[in-house]
Structure 1
């Protein structure tokens, strides 16, 4: 199956969380530019991309959406 892009993490921490979630769910993945993006963080052209098999894309999207719902912005709380 061809691999298609799932997401572009904005930090190494986010990448680690996403790959851990995929591994724990048994979804095969590949990270493009994994090490290059850490050399110059913040440059959009060097962002890493998480790729998944086309047959797993929908399941991976659902897992990722649940992860995003679980993350709360607590910066405004005292």
Structure 2
């Protein structure tokens, strides 16, 4: 799933939690989520609020997000990230 937030100028803790919940729910459905178009001010606010978006990748544009989703899935483990074998 691609979530394009290029039109979002500011973000608060509620929206950050909603995005994290969406990512968690799509992961339960064996889907991947990519957040596209995040403005620098939004990224700074997320960091200042201490919000993380686990399981969610980011891309600069919607097109880049679609390309990222077209790649093979990446598995996440507690010890780090690794790519699945072909």
TM-score (normalised: structure 1):
0.34
Report which of the two has the higher share of helix. 1
Report which of the two has the higher share of strand. 2
